[in-house]
Amino acid sequence: MIEHFLVYQQVMGEKLVYQRLLVKSLKERKNNDLFLKAAADFRTSLNKSQLTIMVAADKWWLEHQCYYHKYTDHNSAQSVFDRNIVAFDTFNQVTVLRNYLEMLNRDSPDESMLEQFDRAFEHILATKTKFPTLIKLYITMIKILKCADELPSPDYFDFKKTFFDRQYELAKVDQLILAKTCSNYLYLVYTQLGSPWLDETFEWHEYISQKGLYGLDGTISEDEYLNFYLLALALKKKKELRFFQETYTKMLDQKINDQVLSLCQTSALQKENKIEEALALLNSAFPLNSKKSLKYDLRAKELRVMLSYDIMLMKQKDGDTVDELERNIDNLKKFCQRLIESNRMSEDRATQHQNFRIVASKLFLLQSKVHKEERDAILQDIQKLIESNAPLSYRSWISKQLEVLG
């Protein structure tokens, strides 16, 4: 009875689900007029709905029911057949583009599958020049992710204008998908081009937060929570962070709540310059060799390097703090190597973390040098890496350390 009740509630609570089942039910009965009327009503509702994969699927399903129907004259019902083909083409385009976008957004995509999607993508581009807003935005975002020659991609500015001008034509799920993909891309731009692009990245995160999109299904993922919190913290967006915490903290899965909030609190303590307290919390929540998941382990190891570096300076480079920093830098190096060897992270995505480790090593080496020529040479090496636009995580922290060193 409970299962029947849940299904009934779903059907009665969603107009499109109700209409689809009504069409299906009437098709199985003998009254063709009622079937055609229900189909026409369902078509009207779908045409008024924002285009999504599910709406495209329903449109194709409806036209398929109407054409492959015993009362249809298959020799002369050209308009009915045409609607079936058009609906299938739209459904095919949306699903291909959505999956291709997801594939490009992944860390280690399947190369042979990428080639297949690329051929399908080029075929879609060749079919026509005018697309619905959703498909146009998917196409533009794919072009952005495929652009390897220029950062940021020239298509980014067109994407941003179209998205904000036409956002109300998009369903919330597609607003979330496109905004998240764009913010992921911009963060990679930031790791190469520096601070202004961190602000640009946060603009998209704030859009997602303010629109309530993080809580679209009543929960927020740990990745989404960590990304917003740490970015807002880095940019000192106190008002935006307060709104985010009040809105979304209660949506975290209780199983991972403590881990997420411990990492966030460690970063907050670091920003408040409570370095020893931050390191104590980090070591308690994420011991040196803990294995929770990549999203925590990598962040924790880089955070540990930064905190141990700060403590070494605070303790005036005493032996224990120097040894601790050296161990943490070596641990980060080995961890990145294992990620690559085990295919948990591609070499391209690991580069920003490896470069961070290289800079941290040079900052560490700098502490043992007393001659100006040696110190200047190391500082020049760090500056070259920064100015080369090589991917580099925690650029803002590195810039702060260079300012301190003069």
Are 157 and 115 in contact by the 8 Å Cβ rule? The answer is no
The pair of structure tokens assigned to 135 is 């498909």
- What would the mean pLDDT of 352-381 be, rounded to a whole number? 90
Average pLDDT over residues 214-234: 93
Condensed to tens digits (0 to 9), the pLDDT of residues 125-144 reads 998 778 999 999 999 999 99
Q: With contact defined as beta carbons under 8 Å apart, do 209 and 248 qualify? A: yes
HSE-up (13 A, CA, CB side) for residue 402: 19
The 3-state DSSP class for residue 262 equals: helix
Is 333 domain-assigned? yes
- Of all residues in the chain, the percent with pLDDT exceeding 90 is 64
pLDDT in tens, 299-341: 999 999 999 999 998 888 777 888 999 999 999 999 999 989 9
Q: Is 67 inside a domain boundary?
A: no
Contact criterion met (CB below 8 Å) for 61 and 91: no
Bond into 152 cis (ω within 30) = yes
| Residue located via tokens 């973390």 | 353
Mean pLDDT over 332-361 rounds to 91
DSSP secondary structure letter of residue 345: S
Burial label for 58, CB within 10 Å (0-12, 13-18, 19+), is buried
**Does residue 149 lie within any of the structural domains?**
no
Q: Is residue 400 part of a domain?
A: yes
Q: How confident is the model at residue 183 (pLDDT cuts 50, 70, 90)?
A: very high
- The answer to whether 243 and 209 are in contact (CB under 8 A) is yes
Question: Is the residue at 304 inside a domain?
Answer: yes
Determine, yes or no, domain membership for 310.
yes
Q: Over the stretch 259-285, which tens digit does the pLDDT of each residue have?
A: 999 999 999 999 999 999 999 999 999
Place of tokens 């002369």: 76
How far apart, in whole angstroms, are the C-alpha atoms of residue 71 and residue 257?
A: 58
pLDDT band for 356, please (50, 70, 90 cuts): very high
With beta carbons less than 8 A apart as the criterion, state whether 251 and 259 touch. Answer: no
In a domain, 121, yes or no: no
Backbone angles phi, psi at 98, to 5 degrees: -60, -45
Domain range holding 384?
Answer: 274-406
- Can you give the pLDDT at residue 108? 66
Mutual orientation of helices 238-248 and 196-210 as an angle, nearest 10°?
40
Assess if residue 356 is contained within a domain: yes
> Residue-wise over 86-108: b if at least 16 C-beta within 10 A, else e?
ebbebbebbebbbebbebbbeee
Q: How far is 73 from 340, CA to CA, in rounded Å?
A: 60
Please report the beta strands in 164-263, taking only residues with DSSP state E, as ranges in sequence order.
none
Q: How many structural domains is the chain composed of? A: 1
